[in-house]
Structure 1
Amino acid sequence: MPTVHSTPSASELGSSERERVCVIGAGCSGITAAKVLHERGLAFDCFELSDRVGGNWVWGNSNGVSAAYKSLHINTSRSRMEFSDFPMPANLPNFARHDQVAAYFDAYVDHFGFRDRITFNTGVEHVHPLPGGGFEVRLSNAETRRYGSVIVANGHHWDPRMPEPAFPGVEGFTGEQIHSHDYTDEQQLTGKRIVVLGMGNSAMDICTDASYHAAETYLSHRRGVHIIPKYVFGKPFDEIGAHEKIPSRVRWGVARVVMRAATGPMSRYGLQEPDHKFAQAHPTVSSRILDRLAHGDVVPKPNIQRFDGDSVVFTDGTRVAADLVIYCTGYKISFPFFDAGFLDPSGDNEIRLYQRMFHPTVPGLYFIGLVQPLGAVMPIAERQSELAADHLQGLHALPERAAMDAEIDHHRKAITKRYVASKRHTIQVDFVDYMRALRRERDAGARRRTTAQAAAHRVGA
């Protein structure tokens, strides 16, 4: 009979503790997990550092770690990010603003009736796996509880990653330096000479804001990217060919042709040409930045070479005086409530999880939303949560350890082959492909459980 990695049997925990689940975080992934557990009748506690749900979509969040800014809008269309059983209001724009999204999450919690299961203004300070199974969880109020399972849904856009290594002369720079995480509104830009470093979505938004409020705006970039407009042929770009039955090679082949027709080469806007094909890096979505570049309100520059007093010197030898440099250089994947090295011994954002959500050696430890999708995370978190709940209820069985390791290794090789080498791509998934993989894993896990039960019955007979 094959070995089955099932839910923990923690003899040292009481029966109520063994059956109870700790959910860390009440952002979009945490409330999704909580909703599924609530519907299934599973006992759980959800802890949220803030005074409300919504995580990064709450501008001015009291938790001090969320990174919304005043001009933030979704980069995936409303129809592609909404939950399957709770549509976003039809009166919202296709690309809704942060407060509209946060209100949607609030309505989701109240509609399904589990707000009383969330403990607000309470963080999780430490999670310790117990030798016999289960977990000891210490809270920010100094209380310690025990759980049979833990669902980690604290997000991965809160621990800023600064340029590595630091640029020469940076310590002597007389201007201000911040990470995009610290950007909140346009008042920080007004009248200043701004250099934005990066080519991701935050960099595009901040550059666009600066082009209207700053004295000068420069966009510095190490490599080119494909910039995707939010609308193509009058439709949201992510609605084109987005179906699980369409193979990715066909889907992205068509998308590449469409993008070339929609934007033309990036060099037309003064940007470096990408050294990779469309969809081989996390998408940069902006309908506004190309307009600001075309009108000269944002001036493209190559990578920063060094700092010199109040000046930023670029690799092409040009320099500009700057009052503020904003680093849009991504985030570290951090879990401060786990012991150092527990998840990422290399310190390089390499998190080994089966199907991107199951810890292969610690039963009962699940991760929801720890992916960087080519698409929206909310439907992914919904499908992950259903799968985790199946496993908690004994409806799904994981394969043996060797098979889990093989799947993780295969995914890592596929990531390395497809995407540009970057620390942000260690958790990258293609939305459609991954949604299909989760559906197949749910079916396969149910078959493994049935096979194991039948084998156990034969042995017992």
Structure 2
Amino acid sequence: MAKRVAIIGGGSSGLCAIKACLQEGLEPICFEATRDIGGLWRFEHGSSRASVAAGGVAHSRPQRGPGEPPTAALAIPPLHCPWPAPSHALLPRSPHTQTSVCCVSKRPDFAATGQWEVVTESEGKQEAAVFDAVLVCSGHHTKAHLPLSAFPGIEKFKGRYLHSRDYKDARDFTDKRVVIIGIGNSGSDLAVEISQTAKQVSSRSGVLVGRGYPIDIVLTTRMKTFLQQLMSSSMVSDFAEKQLNARFNHSHYGLKPKHRILDQHPTVNDDLPNRIISGRVLVKPNIQEFTETSAIFEDGTREDIDAVVFATGYSFSFPFLEKYVKVVENQIPLYKFMFPPDLEKPTLAFIGLIQPLGAIMPISELQCRWATRVFKGLNKLPPQHDMEADIKYVKSQRHTIQVDYIPYMDELACQVGVKPNLLTLFLTDPKLALEVTFGPCTPYQYRLRGPGKWEGAREAILTQQQRVLKPLQTRHVEKQALAPAVPLIFKLVGAVAVLAVIFAYL
């Protein structure tokens, strides 16, 4: 009889968990508190839960090839939808909805069996069931962080104020004057979208990263990660900031922040500069205080406003597991951000409880592949003291669960046995090795070998650049032959030199 696995949450991580369980011969039972699956990617007008806005898109592409198991269990044809994001309308439906998890507790014989009792509630009725393992896939966008005490006068403001999780549609702000507090990804997206209907939008300054292509395609390569490890943080920041300012001068747009680019999670928005230069978005300093009808900024300027949107992030908690895991200042002790190290049996794992510098869906999938193999006994976890020594967090309320995409994916891949072997690839398949090293690190790389190997992975990697460009090529443009800026011989010599350094560090 297949082991029964309780999956808490039916968002992208929960869908990954369902797929991984099925591939390992486990029986997944998914509990989703809302009326449909999709999590953050399902749009609901009028709902107060965290979800995508009406115009929301992603900054990374869900790579998938014909016949390949979907990266995030989202059935999205890669050649027939734009690369920036899947639409929230493309998600499949699920029967396991409107069921909340009240309590997860160890069975009396947990030390021997590793089993859990899960109490759920649906339509006012509670039920208890026994499971051999539990995957917590509810994520970290759960409780809105609303720092009202940091903004004097907000209690007397007569207009409307709300957290970004309560925002759904720009039409709610038609002809209004809006201030957005926070200029991270949510804040910049809201500034762009609301400015299409509002009279004026004011937003605080911050870093902008915009390259015109999905960020994981542009930045997430093994070569760039390797070179970053060789350079100091200051050198990397200098190079990255120079590249970004080559497109437009962030100081001229009021977007240059006080911190360096690597000191905070990057903001990605290609539309914001256009909204600033057209005057629809004003970039302002921090807010000093609110009055009944206006905001006063630190530079002494005042703006009459009708609404305030706090794009100030989230805190997370797991009340149904409070006996076994404690969250303190957005920190929870988990091995590889997944496994509690002090359980007698490794039958509980958290999926997607990370803030990656890259796409989260491929990470969730690889986490699920590892967790299900641990549940089956195919992979073993280290001793408790080794796991506890490995746990570390970024010292920041907003970034305690932040990880770098490729290093973290490779850590997971080593556990599963699917990390690509670059030396072997260069000796046996140089063409593929070059794309794996210098091209975007898409999830196909973790399907080349080991458990879950996919025969189409090689072809998917070699053709991924064409699929990125495919949605853009609605008009044929003749290519002009240009003389190479660097002779081929110098390119080859340079490539050999770089590879020699790589192998020296392998």
Instruction: Specify if TM > 0.5.
Output: yes
**Which residue, out of 282, 292, 315, partners 2:298?**
315
Task: Mark the runs of 5 or more structure 2 residues left unpaired by the alignment.
Answer: 419-506
**Which residue, out of 75, 83, 92, partners 2:71?**
83
Report the number of matched residues: 398
Deviations 1:191-247 (A, max 9, x none): 1110001011111111112222111211135xx32x11141xxx4443135234653
What amino acid is aligned across from residue 95 of structure 1 in structure 2?
P
Name 2:406's counterpart in structure 1.
432
Q: For 1:78 and 1:40, locate their aligned partners in 2 and report how far apart those are by CA, in whole Å.
A: 22
Tell me: CA distance 1:158–1:294, structure 2 relative to 1, closer, same or farther (3 Å): same
What amino acid is aligned across from residue 376 of structure 1 in structure 2?
A
Name 1:58's counterpart in structure 2.
42
Contact 1:78–1:88 (CA<8 Å) still a contact in 2? no
Contact 2:181–2:308 (CA<8 Å) still a contact in 1? yes
Q: For 1:359 and 1:369, locate their aligned partners in 2 and report how far apart those are by CA, in whole Å.
A: 15
Tell me: CA distance 1:213–1:246, structure 2 relative to 1, closer, same or farther (3 Å): closer
After TM superposition, give the deviation of residue 248 of structure 1 in Å: 4.6
* Percent of paired sites with the same residue: 35
Contact 2:45–2:168 (CA<8 Å) still a contact in 1? no
Q: For 2:45 and 2:369, locate their aligned partners in 1 and report how far apart those are by CA, in whole Å.
A: 28
**Which residue, out of 23, 32, 54, partners 2:16?**
32
Tell me: CA distance 1:166–1:130, structure 2 relative to 1, closer, same or farther (3 Å): farther
Tell me: CA distance 1:256–1:31, structure 2 relative to 1, closer, same or farther (3 Å): same
After TM superposition, give the deviation of residue 78 of structure 1 in Å: 4.2
What amino acid is aligned across from residue 94 of structure 1 in structure 2?
W
Q: For 2:211 and 2:105, locate their aligned partners in 1 and report how far apart those are by CA, in whole Å.
A: 43
Tell me: CA distance 1:170–1:404, structure 2 relative to 1, closer, same or farther (3 Å): same
| Bigger shift: residues 372-381 or 47-56 | 47-56
Tell me: CA distance 1:380–1:80, structure 2 relative to 1, closer, same or farther (3 Å): farther
Tell me: CA distance 1:439–1:78, structure 2 relative to 1, closer, same or farther (3 Å): closer
Q: For 1:151 and 1:26, locate their aligned partners in 2 and report how far apart those are by CA, in whole Å.
A: 11
**Which residue, out of 243, 251, 261, partners 2:246?**
261
What amino acid is aligned across from residue 163 of structure 1 in structure 2?
P
Name 1:419's counterpart in structure 2.
none
**Secondary structure of the residue that 1:124 maps to in structure 2?**
strand
TM-score (norm 2): 0.73
Name 1:372's counterpart in structure 2.
355
Contact 2:62–2:72 (CA<8 Å) still a contact in 1? no
Contact 2:62–2:71 (CA<8 Å) still a contact in 1? no
Name 1:182's counterpart in structure 2.
166
Task: Mark the runs of 5 or more structure 1 residues left unpaired by the alignment.
Answer: 1-14, 110-114, 417-421, 445-461
Tell me: CA distance 1:61–1:120, structure 2 relative to 1, closer, same or farther (3 Å): farther
Q: For 1:220 and 1:247, locate their aligned partners in 2 and report how far apart those are by CA, in whole Å.
A: 30
Name 2:82's counterpart in structure 1.
93
Tell me: CA distance 1:64–1:310, structure 2 relative to 1, closer, same or farther (3 Å): closer
Name 1:396's counterpart in structure 2.
379
| Bigger shift: residues 60-69 or 191-200 | 60-69
Name 1:129's counterpart in structure 2.
106
After TM superposition, give the deviation of residue 23 of structure 1 in Å: 0.5
Residue 343, structure 1, aligned to residue 329, structure 2: no
After TM superposition, give the deviation of residue 159 of structure 1 in Å: 1.6
**Secondary structure of the residue that 2:300 maps to in structure 1?**
coil
Q: For 1:179 and 1:262, locate their aligned partners in 2 and report how far apart those are by CA, in whole Å.
A: 32
Q: Map residues 226-375 of structure 1 onto 2, 5 A cutoff.
A: 227-231=208-212, 235-244=213-222, 246-250=224-228, 253=236, 255-264=240-249, 266-276=250-260, 278-339=261-322, 342-344=325-327, 346=328, 348-362=329-343, 363-375=346-358
What amino acid is aligned across from residue 245 of structure 2 in structure 1?
R
Residue 139, structure 1, aligned to residue 120, structure 2: yes
Q: For 1:207 and 1:173, locate their aligned partners in 2 and report how far apart those are by CA, in whole Å.
A: 21
What amino acid is aligned across from residue 259 of structure 1 in structure 2?
L
Contact 1:282–1:374 (CA<8 Å) still a contact in 2? yes
After TM superposition, give the deviation of residue 318 of structure 1 in Å: 1.7
After TM superposition, give the deviation of residue 64 of structure 1 in Å: 5.0
Name 1:219's counterpart in structure 2.
203
What amino acid is aligned across from residue 146 of structure 2 in structure 1?
M
Higher relative contact order (CA 8 A, sep 6+): 1
Q: For 2:218 and 2:371, locate their aligned partners in 1 and report how far apart those are by CA, in whole Å.
A: 30
